[in-house]
Amino acid sequence: MPDILIAPSILAADFARFGDEVRAVDQAGADWIHIDVMDGHFVPNITFGPEVVRAVRRHTSKPLDVHLMIMPADPYLEAFAEAGADAISVHVEAGPHLHRSLQTIRKLGKRAGAAINPATPIEHLVNILDDVDEILVMTVNPGFGGQSFIQSQLPKIAQIRAMLAGRTVDIVIDGGVTPETAGACAAAGGNVLVAGSAVFGGGTGYADKIAAIRNAAE
Ligand code: DX5
Ligand code: ZN
């Protein structure tokens, strides 16, 4: 199994102190920084555009994993790439031309990701396995941080890992990841764990929170 990577989601950070928050999780051991882009259309919430990605880029050299919950995504791929994303994920459900979106992201020189909602069957991924660098499995319904992990997604993660046998594709688990759920995510085959509220929520420092998730997963 690949090493476990922890990707704090800045959706749960203090938006008025983005620079400080990004630097803090960078220094606390974050492997990637996860940026949730929402459009109030594909999901019922609105967050950031490419200029926020550009601003975050100035505060860390860690990979920026941009999760697009927008529909359509294609008109914005170049802007997010140019703003400093390292990886861009588009939702399987967000348009009829997933393959084209993935192809465009790779042509822009970025890692291409396909994100899949809890209710979407894994068959939607079968024909794009050669075209992705990461598959992002939603373990909550997209749109908000702080929701409870949907346990029924665990067998789905394992099925996707089996489907990827022989390929070095990251499986990113997104939603409800905590020290309590991280072990099961990793056991099922997830190797990148996104965590918003479990890192930025109250309590002890970010280094301890990140370490707790990592320790539970390894
Ligand atoms: C939800 C986002 C997640 C969110 C996770 O739509 O894709 O990345 O930030 O937040 P937590 O870890 O609080 O469930
Ligand atoms: Zn996300």
Residues of the chain with pLDDT below 70 are: 1-2
pLDDT confidence of residue 1: 47
What ipTM score was computed for the predicted complex, to two decimals? 0.99
- Among 8, 7, 9, which residue's Cα sits nearest to residue 37? 9
170 is catalytic: no
Euclidean distance between the first and the last CA atom of the chain, given in angstroms as a whole number: 10
Annotation says 174 is catalytic: yes
Query: Which DSSP symbol is given to 104?
Result: H
Q: Identify the residues whose C-beta falls under 6 Å from ligand 1.
A: 9, 11-12, 34, 36, 67, 140, 142-143, 145-147, 174-177, 194-198
Residue-wise pLDDT for 125-182, tens only, equals 999 999 999 999 999 999 999 999 999 999 999 999 999 999 999 999 999 999 999 9
Domains and CATH numbers, the chain: 5-217 (3.20.20.70)
